[in-house]
């Protein structure tokens, strides 16, 4: 049996007792403090998680709803869907605020003196159609709503030059018709600020024909 290098006596134990007490007290204080902060943090985390869950439940629900509705747009419409759409269309087109039995259209007048390519003309007419539509939604929303459910007729016409285009725009303004003139950014075929096309409408066909129709003030031919 190996003997200890020192002898343990009551006096020796008395020397270690204070240190043992300090160690025990330190452990108790440290353990208690640790448990206190841990419990508080757990409470905060739990509370925060609950709050986040309740707050984020709406976005999550919205996301699910959006996903569901997105999938729904690609499914084959049911008979009920078709009937609902037809009822909506009837309700809109039969509204007393919409012109009844009136044919609506939009005309886009393209300058011929610029020599634009077919691709350039296509881009400019798209600008005119979108721009005229956006303006008309504020100026004459009843015409726009009717036009949306009545084939959205768009007629592309040829105009000789800028002066004639300006005169047609002035007449459209005089008649109270929505119109827009497109100025090109000049990135491809024409100089920046070049006025390329004029869009008029959507508006009643007879009103537009008084300006650009065969018997109108500025009779224009179809673009070809």
Model confidence pLDDT, tens digit, residues 203-212: 999 999 999 9
- List the chain domain ranges: 9-70, 103-222
Question: For the chain, how far is it from start to end, CA to CA, in angstroms?
Answer: 117
The sheet with strand 195-204 has its strands ordered as 179-183, 195-204, 104-111, 154-159, 221-222
As a whole number of angstroms, the distance between CA 146 and CA 148 comes to: 5
CA distances to 33, 52, 131, 198 from 41, in Å: 12, 16, 57, 67
Stretch 100-121: mean pLDDT: 92
Residue 164, pLDDT score: 97
| Residue recorded with tokens 């979108």 | 130
pTM above 0.95, yes or no: no
Cα 211–chain centre separation: 36
Which residues, other chains included, contact 202 with Cβ-Cβ below 8 Å and sequence gap of 6+? 104, 105, 106, 132, 133, 136, 140, 143, 144, 146, 147, 152, 178
As its CATH architecture, domain 103-222 has 3-Layer(aba) Sandwich (3.40)
Please choose, from the candidates 13, 10, 194, 214, the residue with its C-alpha nearest in 3D space to the C-alpha of residue 110.
194
- Alpha-carbon 126 to chain mean position: 19
Q: Which residues have C-beta within 8 Å of that of residue 99, sequence separation ≥ 6?
A: 142, 143, 146, 204
Both tokens of 13, joined, read 């134990």
Q: What is the pLDDT of residue 106?
A: 96
Please tell me which residue, 2 or 63, carries the higher pLDDT value: 2
- pLDDT, position 140: 87
**Lowest-pLDDT range of 81-85, 87-91, 127-131:** 87-91
CA distance 117 to 115: 7
Tell me the pLDDT band of 116, cut-offs 50, 70 and 90.
very high
Indicate the pLDDT class of residue 102, thresholds 50, 70 and 90: confident
Q: Omega of the bond prior to 202 within 30 degrees of 0, cis? A: yes
More confident residue, 39 or 47: 39
Confidence (pLDDT) at 87: 72
173-200 residue pLDDT tens: 999 999 999 999 999 999 999 999 999 9
Q: Average pLDDT, stretch 156-168?
A: 97
- Whether 156 contacts 222, CB under 8 Å: yes
Give percent of the chain with pLDDT exceeding 90. 46
pLDDT tens-place string over residues 59-68 = 222 223 233 3
The DSSP call for residue 43 is: H
């Amino acid at each position: 049996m190996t003997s200890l290098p020192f002898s343990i006596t009551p006096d020796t134990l008395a020397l270690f007792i204070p240190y043992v007490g300090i160690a025990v007290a330190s452990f108790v204080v440290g353990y208690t403090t640790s448990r206190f902060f841990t419990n508080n943090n757990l409470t905060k985390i739990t509370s925060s998680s609950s709050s986040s869950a309740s707050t984020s439940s709406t976005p999550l629900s919205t996301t699910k709803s959006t996903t569901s509705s997105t999938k729904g747009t690609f499914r084959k419409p049911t008979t009920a869907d078709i009937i609902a759409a037809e009822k909506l269309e009837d309700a809109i087109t039969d509204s007393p605020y919409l012109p009844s039995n009136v044919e609506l259209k939009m005309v886009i007048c393209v300058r011929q003196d610029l020599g634009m390519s077919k691709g350039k003309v296509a881009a400019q007419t798209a600008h005119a159609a979108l721009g005229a539509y956006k303006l008309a939604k504020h100026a004459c929303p009843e015409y726009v709503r009717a036009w949306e459910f009545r084939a959205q007729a768009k007629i592309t016409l040829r105009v000789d030059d800028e002066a004639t285009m300006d005169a047609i725009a002035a007449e459209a303004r005089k008649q109270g018709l929505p119109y827009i003139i497109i100025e090109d950014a000049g990135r491809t075929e024409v100089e920046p600020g070049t006025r390329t096309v004029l869009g008029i409408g959507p508006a009643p066909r007879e009103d537009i024909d008084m300006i650009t129709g065969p018997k109108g003030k500025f009779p224009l031919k179809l673009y070809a």
